[in-house]
Amino acid sequence: MSLFTAKNFINVILPLPLQRLFTYSITEAEVDFLQKGMRVAVPFGKSKIYTALVHEIHQQAPQEYEAKPIHQILDDKPIVNEIQLEHWTWVANYYMCSLGDVYRAALPSAFLLESETIVLKNPSFTDESLLTDTEFLVFEALHHQSQLSVLEISGILSKKNILPLLKSMLAKEAVVLKEEIYEQYKPKLVKYIRLAEQYKGGAALNELLQSVARAKKQHQALMTYFSLEGQTKKPIKAKDLEEKAAVSNAVLKGLVDKEILEFYHIQVDRISFKQAEGKLKSLNEFQEKAFQEIKTSFETKAVTLLHGITSSGKTEVYSKLIQVQLELKKQVLFLVPEIALTTQLIQRLQEVFGGKIAVFHSKYSMNERVEVWNNVLNNKEKAQIVLGARSSVFLPFSNLGLVIVDEEHESSYKQFDPSPRYHARDAAILLSHHHKARTLLGSATPSLETYFNATNNKYGHVSLNKRFGEVQLPEMELVDVKEKHRKKRMTGHFSDRLLKEITTAIEHKEQVILFQNRRGFSPVVECETCAVAPQCPNCDVSLTYHKYRKELRCHYCNYRQAMPLKCGACGSEKLTTIGFGTEQIELELKELFPEVNVGRMDLDTTRGKYGYQKIIGAFQAHEIDILVGTQMLSKGLDFGNVTLVGVLNADTMLNFPDFRAHERTYQMLVQVAGRSGRSKKRGKVIIQTFNPYHQILQQVSTNSYLEMYKEQLADRWQFHYPPYYRVLKITLKHRDLLRLEEASEWLGQSLGNAFTDNVLGPTAPSVSRVRNLYIKHIIVKIPPKQNLAATKKHIEKIKSTFVAIGAFRSVRLGIDVDSY
């Protein structure tokens, strides 16, 4: 078919930051087959191939260019639905990015093969008979080359249309994509024990028992095995048998050596959870009341806030609401701020909803993510509840009934980089709206904007003010560190008060959580002679000292160097450290309490997929008595045995240069404090500070959310911040400071002409260079009455003029809407 006679076309979304859709031609046969939401492989630019998404099918040839034909159709039915496309369009418009940016963020990368994608052999793939001849050719080539780009493979096969082939090889798990290899799925193996084959059936059992009659322990183990088998009719874990029979592993091994029993392993799948469904806990009267109020609120309000104090049992209320949706055969999206930090919650929900929960998370391997996508797309029961971090708002729901946003105040719901810079809570509310579903926002410390909406009747508002079991909220004590220093009552970074309470807790065999919102040993190393601190060569920031590795690190670009012996500026050997981090606290504790097990939880100790779980597990099993950590500790952990929480220094957060610093400090401190005294005994919280009379610390210690809210709100009104004004931040970056200054001045002026006093900057942020790029910010504030859409349009216009200026073309420009 000649191009000139083409009369059928499609508009597609390319996974690129380009504002427009692109038109390709299709044949008569393809018209009949193609549907909106299917993927097609298309050529773009000189030699590139991309996976594009069909957005429209039509008969209008493009005016400015000749439409190229598509290479290939990649799906036999749509993998993206209409509601999603509508929702993505909203996200793109609202957050001022391209539909392509949203498309790329939404789809698992295995769905987005392109010419540049690097493909590798999957080392654990062995069954070559699964492959077709051509696939085997590619597999062989990867054997010799170890990795190939899609373009190279296309060259080897002298074939243009190879995406379907790769798609098939990915499905067979013969190959993996490069970006995924760091997170390959490792099945967890659990050791089980069973009767050897020859004894199955029961006839020889008596004989068998006779044979071990004289080995008392073995006899005991076997008897217990039979009784367990009779009771549970389930596979028996070796560990359980050891415990129930009160024998050692050596006894079991003895039986295995005699070929009476045998060990085997079952793979515990981390994604498809056990099918068995537990029971919902029955709600107490306060939870029941909240549950009823939420249901009533949902009759008139699409969004409702559940303001429930820490340990009030919000999870149980959520579960009840989920149950209702399951009965209606509706889908549920349960959003959490960070999956890795939510192990406990996942476990609890799994116990109740078992096989109906799918977890969606960017750290999961490609195949796992593809699997969840497909299950949601096909409205499968095993993905009826999706528990996920922010990107799960882009999944192909078709029948959503309820969205729960747990810990809605969490800042990790906002994506800062790359674009789309969306807020998952707000995107979720919109998603829910597209489905005519309901949204529940839950928190003990709601964000100011949510509470504002709830008190202004835009959202429903339900409170839950009693801890489960009616344990009182912990007792709070502010300790004035300045005075303690003066009176010489400090040992390292510990006041006598904190030390005494730690000692008492340990004596009672209770556990302690200590919070210091800084990792590493100490933030800054300084020369005592000339006061120079070693700086990162790539960023405008001092390096952080990590004592254990004896090195200095940059927390912005990960640059590392060995701790110098001398000052780089004057050669003096007198280097001191200023400030302190988790690592230093851990070391001090080990000296103060040599008998006690101390654990540390921060970015440095929780790397890797299961790093975090290991520490949580050890703490839960009471292998750790005192856990020291950063803000990770504040996120929803539930340990019954923690009776003391200590905050080593509450001041750093308060002094952070950000209009939300006070709100965030309040949230963080109340959340960490909430980890104390959750089960029987009332807990204690000790907060060390240089400013015990700071209003925020007073509000934390008296648990006065409302007072904090009113005071902060007054400030926001006075200084023109959200929830009254909207804040849009433009970031410019360039290697060359002069070029950057020129560009940001130009942009600042153009914006100033349009929005006068509501433009702040350009200014350099406190860290004004990162990874060798200089940075400038311009803030545009949008008053309550100013039309949002018109404002954004005008900014877009200024941006296109900016981009058209040759000298500014190399300046990176990012727009962040609601940048807070």
Which residues form the interface with Zn ion (CB under 5 A)?
Answer: 527, 529-530, 536, 538-539, 554, 556-557, 559, 567, 569-570, 572
Contact 731, 813 (CB under 8 A): yes
Q: Which does 398 bind (CB under 5 to 8 A by kind): ligand ADP, Zn ion, none?
A: none
Tokens of 322: 């989920």
**Candidate ranges 118-126, 278-286, 734-742, 743-751; the one touching ligand ADP (CB under 6 A):** 278-286
CA distance 109 to 362: 10
Q: Does position 284 bind ligand ADP by CB under 6 A?
A: yes
Between 136 and 559, whose beta carbon lies closer to Zn ion?
A: 559
Tokens of 596: 């006690």
Q: Which residue has the tokens 């292998």?
A: 623
Contact 762, 768 (CB under 8 A): no
List residues bridging with 303 in a β-sheet. 439
**Candidate ranges 243-251, 279-287, 587-595, 733-741; the one touching ligand ADP (CB under 6 A):** 279-287
Between 410 and 586, whose beta carbon lies closer to ligand ADP?
A: 410
Q: Tell me the backbone φ, ψ of residue 195, rounded to 5 degrees.
A: -70, 140
Q: Which does 651 bind (CB under 5 to 8 A by kind): ligand ADP, Zn ion, none?
A: none
Q: Which does 559 bind (CB under 5 to 8 A by kind): ligand ADP, Zn ion, none?
A: Zn ion
Count of residues near ligand ADP by CB under 6 A:
15
- Residue 243, classed as helix, strand or coil, is helix
Burial 412-448 (b: 16+ CB within 10 A, else e): bbbbeeebbbbbbbbbbbbbbbebebbbbbbbbbbbb
Q: Does position 316 bind ligand ADP by CB under 6 A?
A: yes
Contact 397, 435 (CB under 8 A): yes
Q: What is the DSSP string of 534-600?
A: -B-SSSSSBPEEETTTTEEE-TTT--EEEPPSS-TTT--S-EEEES--HHHHHHHHHHH-TTS-EEE
| Minimum CB distance to ligand ADP, residue 599 (Å) | 21
Q: Which does 287 bind (CB under 5 to 8 A by kind): Zn ion, ligand ADP, none?
A: ligand ADP
Count of CB atoms within 10 A of residue 791's CB? 18
- Residue 800, classed as helix, strand or coil, is helix
List residues bridging with 72 in a β-sheet. 41
**Candidate ranges 283-291, 477-485, 683-691, 754-762; the one touching ligand ADP (CB under 6 A):** 283-291
Between 189 and 530, whose beta carbon lies closer to Zn ion?
A: 530
| Minimum CB distance to Zn ion, residue 567 (Å) | 3
Q: Tell me the backbone φ, ψ of residue 58, rounded to 5 degrees.
A: -155, -175
Burial 544-574 (b: 16+ CB within 10 A, else e): bbbbeeeebbbbeeebeeebeeebeeeeeee
| Minimum CB distance to ligand ADP, residue 307 (Å) | 11
Q: Which does 312 bind (CB under 5 to 8 A by kind): ligand ADP, Zn ion, none?
A: ligand ADP
Tokens of 456: 């202004």
CA distances from 103 to 330, 705, 779 (A): 25, 39, 27
Length of the chain in terms of residues written = 820
CA distances from 531 to 410, 546, 769 (A): 38, 20, 21
Strands 357-360 and 385-388 come out as parallel
Q: Does position 649 bind ligand ADP by CB under 6 A?
A: no
Between 140 and 638, whose beta carbon lies closer to ligand ADP?
A: 638
Among 51, 218, 315, 688, binds ligand ADP (CB under 6 A): 315
Between 344 and 379, whose beta carbon lies closer to ligand ADP?
A: 344
Q: Does position 634 bind ligand ADP by CB under 6 A?
A: no
Give residue 157's identity as a one-letter amino acid code. Answer: L
Give, in degrees to the nearest 5, the angle at Cα 204 between 202 and 206: 95
Q: Does position 313 bind ligand ADP by CB under 6 A?
A: yes
Between 293 and 316, whose beta carbon lies closer to ligand ADP?
A: 316
| Minimum CB distance to ligand ADP, residue 442 (Å) | 8
Residue nearest ligand ADP, Cβ-based: 313
Q: Which residue has the tokens 């003066």?
A: 486
Q: Which does 314 bind (CB under 5 to 8 A by kind): Zn ion, ligand ADP, none?
A: ligand ADP
Residues between 149 and 188 that touch ligand ADP (CB under 6 A):
none
Between 284 and 597, whose beta carbon lies closer to ligand ADP?
A: 284
| Minimum CB distance to Zn ion, residue 518 (Å) | 17
| Minimum CB distance to Zn ion, residue 731 (Å) | 17
Contacts of 621 (CB under 8 A, 6+ apart): none
Between 198 and 576, whose beta carbon lies closer to Zn ion?
A: 576
| Minimum CB distance to Zn ion, residue 565 (Å) | 12
Q: Which does 530 bind (CB under 5 to 8 A by kind): Zn ion, ligand ADP, none?
A: Zn ion
Residues between 191 and 220 that touch ligand ADP (CB under 6 A):
none
Q: In the 8-state DSSP scheme, what is residue 423?
A: B
Q: Which does 315 bind (CB under 5 to 8 A by kind): Zn ion, ligand ADP, none?
A: ligand ADP
Between 460 and 674, whose beta carbon lies closer to ligand ADP?
A: 674
| Minimum CB distance to ligand ADP, residue 286 (Å) | 9
Q: Tell me the backbone φ, ψ of residue 815, rounded to 5 degrees.
A: -110, 135
Q: Which does 652 bind (CB under 5 to 8 A by kind): ligand ADP, Zn ion, none?
A: none
* Run of H or E including 261: strand 261-268
Between 122 and 287, whose beta carbon lies closer to ligand ADP?
A: 287
Between 456 and 772, whose beta carbon lies closer to Zn ion?
A: 772
Q: Which does 281 bind (CB under 5 to 8 A by kind): Zn ion, ligand ADP, none?
A: ligand ADP
Contact 366, 170 (CB under 8 A): yes
List residues bridging with 438 in a β-sheet. 402
Give residue 682's identity as a one-letter amino acid code. Answer: R
Between 569 and 805, whose beta carbon lies closer to Zn ion?
A: 569
Q: Which does 316 bind (CB under 5 to 8 A by kind): Zn ion, ligand ADP, none?
A: ligand ADP
Q: Which does 60 bind (CB under 5 to 8 A by kind): Zn ion, ligand ADP, none?
A: none
Between 211 and 284, whose beta carbon lies closer to ligand ADP?
A: 284
| Minimum CB distance to ligand ADP, residue 317 (Å) | 8
CA distance 116 to 98: 21
In the stretch 652-681, what mask flags binding to ligand ADP with x, by CB under 6 A? --------------------------x---
Contacts of 179 (CB under 8 A, 6+ apart): 109, 118
The residues of the shown chain that bind ligand ADP, judged by CB under 6 A, are 281, 283-284, 287, 308, 310-316, 468, 638, 678
